[in-house]
Amino acid sequence: MTSGNPYTLKWGIMATGGIAETFCKDLLCSPAVRGADDVRHEIVAVASSSSSKRAAEFLQKINGAFDAKTYGSYSELVVDPNVDIIYVATPHSHHFQNTMLALEAGKHVLCEKAFTVTAAQARKLVETAKAKKLFLMEAVWTRYFPLSIKVRELITSGEIGTVFRTIGDLSINSNAEEGSGLSFADSHRMVNPDLAGGATLDLGVYPLTWVFQTLYHLQPEQDKEAPTVIASSNKYTTGADENTAIICSFPGHNSIGIASTTMRADTDPENVVPAVRIQGSKGEIQVFAPAYRPTKYRVVKRNGEAQTFDVPQPADPARNNWGHGMFWEADECARCLRDGKLESATLPWKESIVIMETMEEALRQGGITYPELITTDVYDPKSPLNTGNQ
């Protein structure tokens, strides 16, 4: 918090789909509503790979500034001199090429999850950001919630003793009303291998986030230990994974993480069973669904004493009571840039890479493969993933 002028971060939005809309509406919420007076956000440009008309319609939909620029290509957006940072909101398949496009143009980047399709792509993005002295962050918004920060503090302060195990699930019952298929069209990004579809990359990254932020992130820097991974998947008819279970062992720390995801069942249709359990020698912390946007946790002591805590998301009355929780990660970007940091300490580059390595290994064991166009780690500014000509 500060009483001086807030630091203003000027955003360029790459893509106009569902999450871009949600994120932008959060950017436009007043920071005061969440008690932030040190940073603020402006959306100065929006690009759609389909047309500038679509970008203009998007700007209207989010009730953005009338003078924001609207572009019909991603390549125009990344050279806009007024833009500080690009928010990459395309499907996972596109993240590597689109983020490279922005970094090569000298822009800082916040890239949606899953960071990339392969670990090599993640490493290349990090190398590029480092070489060009640019800020880069994977948009795992959940990590920046006050609830996540509190859970990490409780672990660090020894509230539940030594943590031995974290179990997390993010599952969404997406069965079609009729037949044995899922409700997504085969072309939808959730199940389409050409768009890096599948449960692991889209949903599994969240239970893994809980495994990592409780078991890996809090390990002391000098003995950070990446997990050994055992995983199994079932394939959907498209070839993408419809469910996956991942066991992450940290033998040097005597801890184990279990992350699961399926598109065939809900984590808990009644939301009475926790989505995440962080278990220690003196008790456990339970986090309630959905694992990506939790607003309730419970601390249960070994003697059975328990307390539940509600952590509602702030909403902006001046923006139709909007507030989704993505503004916390945007604030992190602003603070890092203000303070001259290239990476966020809450989700350092190395950790994003280890998470990508974990998912890559899980997918390998599950026999899930993706096409060369989206797995290559050779940057091509003219890739159809950058030009929109696929």
Ligand X SMILES: NC(=O)C1=CN([C@@H]2O[C@H](COP(=O)(O)OP(=O)(O)OC[C@H]3O[C@@H](n4cnc5c(N)ncnc54)[C@H](OP(=O)(O)O)[C@@H]3O)[C@@H](O)[C@H]2O)C=CC1
Give the interface with ligand LJPVP2WV as residue ranges (CB under 6 A). Answer: 202, 292
Which one of 6, 7, 33, 54 is in contact with ligand X (CB under 6 A)?
54
CB 311 within 8 A of CB 126: no
Among residues 11 and 292, whose Cβ is nearest to ligand LJPVP2WV?
292
Q: Which residue has the tokens 């309730």?
A: 296
Q: How many residues does the chain have?
A: 390
How many angstroms from the chain centroid is the CA of residue 243?
A: 19
Among residues 85 and 196, whose Cβ is nearest to ligand LJPVP2WV?
196
- Spatial separation of the C-alpha atoms in residues 99 and 318, rounded to whole Å: 33
In a 10 Å sphere around its CB, with 0-12 CB exposed, 13-18 middle and 19+ buried, how is residue 164 labelled? middle
Residues 223-252 close enough to bind ligand X by CB under 6 A: none
Which one of 11, 27, 36, 49 is in contact with ligand X (CB under 6 A)?
49
Which one of 50, 60, 82, 369 is in contact with ligand X (CB under 6 A)?
50
Give yes or no for residue 91 binding ligand X (CB under 6 A).
Answer: yes
Which one of 34, 44, 48, 267 is in contact with ligand X (CB under 6 A)?
48
Residues 96-155 close enough to bind ligand X by CB under 6 A: 112-113, 139, 141
Give yes or no for residue 202 binding ligand X (CB under 6 A).
Answer: yes
In a 10 Å sphere around its CB, with 0-12 CB exposed, 13-18 middle and 19+ buried, how is residue 305 labelled? exposed
Q: Which residue has the tokens 């402006």?
A: 42
The footprint of ligand X on this chain (CB under 6 A) covers a number of residues equal to: 25
Which one of 6, 10, 19, 75 is in contact with ligand X (CB under 6 A)?
19
Among residues 110 and 299, whose Cβ is nearest to ligand LJPVP2WV?
110
Q: Which does 247 bind (CB under 5 to 8 A by kind): ligand LJPVP2WV, ligand X, none?
A: none
Among residues 126 and 199, whose Cβ is nearest to ligand LJPVP2WV?
199
Q: How far is the CB of 384 from ligand LJPVP2WV (least distance, A)?
A: 22
> Which of 200, 202, 248, 168 shows the shortest CA–CA distance to 368?
200
Give yes or no for residue 69 binding ligand X (CB under 6 A).
Answer: no
Number of C-alpha atoms within 13 angstroms, CB side, residue 72? 5
Q: How far is the CB of 353 from ligand X (least distance, A)?
A: 17
What are the contacts of 317-322 at 24+ separation with CB within 8 A?
317/33, 318/30, 319/25, 319/28, 319/29, 319/30, 319/63, 322/25, 322/26, 322/28, 322/29
User: DSSP code of 312?
Assistant: P
124 three-class SS: helix
- Spatial separation of the C-alpha atoms in residues 200 and 194, rounded to whole Å: 15
Q: How far is the CB of 380 from ligand X (least distance, A)?
A: 15
Q: Which does 297 bind (CB under 5 to 8 A by kind): ligand LJPVP2WV, ligand X, none?
A: none
Among residues 8 and 173, whose Cβ is nearest to ligand LJPVP2WV?
173
Binding site for ligand X (CB under 6 A): 15-20, 48-50, 54, 89-92, 94, 112-113, 139, 141, 189, 195, 202, 292, 388, 390
